[in-house]
Homo-oligomer: A and B are copies of this chain.
């Protein structure tokens, strides 16, 4: 491990973050609100710290970044960005405790959207903007991570994205990583801009449109209203947001081909079809479960079911209704969706559809092998067989995910939180969803939890967002050996 190389990159990242804090500063000037000074001080501190760290490690500028340094840059980078990102909240008095500010900041940068903010409506615009903006920046980070870093590092079978995609040519769109990232960011910007325009057209204020786009595109979930999307109570708004949530949960590389005039590639993609199937099946089941009991009309049932299913499955975590009051089956399905999440190469979190799909195929393959022990039956994705090493990576990821889920759930239970709330809070943070069930359900938030729990859930968000492996590998002695 070469720490200087790591800190050089982290310093650059911090400097960049400080510069971006200028945007909410300008906003607070426009609105003439008292959060200007907190934001300006935070921006200056962050900028200077980043500059200092970069300067101190400038000799490592041209040194090689190996796999282990890449892991450290990503993990430490996200943790430190969340740290500096919490300064505005602390200086503006948004939160009185450090852990609350850090939780909110981490929740933003990991695009989770779990909140400990209880008086959202009374916050100044600059702070609300910064809170939501952290998600959008986190989403940009995820795109680079998913396209450029994870496949190279073969994290938990994520090389799939690079090599195992359907069709003859590899998914790496252009040879150089930087160019690929730019294309993906272009699509991200295009979708972001389109959503703001559409939300503005159906009557939202520009501020609300931007704030909610900042939550939709990175599948975050923060809102400027305590009652979240339920505040607007407009089917039009919900439809637009549902469509963009669904898009944000899909593989951005496929959209590139779509926009280039090759839509078949999108619709023939195994993962995208599975993703669509899961969403549609869940919407039908939840609609039928709600119809007659919870809501009288089939239309209302469908409206709330569709929004909530897409919101949870893409790991956005927006809410229109308190789904914690829904019957057991609907809540059970939503809890299950918290584990599935978006597609590889999307801004969505959790396990990802492609991994679930391959695991299901693996289970079926092992079953068939019993009857035909001598037959070679490869697990296929589209037309191409999936390598055994990839399946092994996904298996390892699945095991670590379940293990992290169990340990974190038990710790919350140890702190006296009831079983359902513990399990749901864990699933909702590892999966970067946001709201859970019970005490952390749709109409509540994470504020009541003890500081230890907030710390653990912040760690869950980081681990979940970085595909677990990326962080855990730093705990291995082998990573630190020369």
Residues of A whose CB lies within 8 Å of any CB of B are 67-68, 71, 153-156, 289, 327-329, 331-333, 335-336, 359-360, 362-363, 365-373, 388, 392-393, 395-397, 399-400, 403, 406, 409-410, 413-414, 416-420, 422, 469, 472-473, 476, 478-479
Contacts and interface: CB of A to CB of B under 8 A. Distances in A.
Given A327-B416, A360-B403, A371 B332 contact: no
15 contacts: A67-B373, A68-B371, A328-B422, A329-B410, A360-B399, A362-B392, A362-B399, A363-B400, A366-B392, A366-B399, A366-B469, A367-B476, A369-B396, A371-B473, A388-B388
Contacts of A476: 367-368, 371
A288 B167 CA distance: 57
B329 A478 contact: no
A127 B359 CA distance: 45
A341 to B, nearest CB: 16
B371 A413 contact: no
Given A359-B399, A395-B395, A399-B360, A409 B370 contact: no
Nearest to A417: B328
B410 A332 contact: yes
Nearest to A396: B366
Q: 7 closest pairs, A vs B, by CB?
A: A366-B396, A363-B399, A328-B413, A329-B413, A332-B413, A329-B414, A371-B478
Contacts of A397: 366
Nearest to A475: B367
A196 to B, nearest CB: 38
B419 A370 contact: no
A65 B366 CA distance: 22
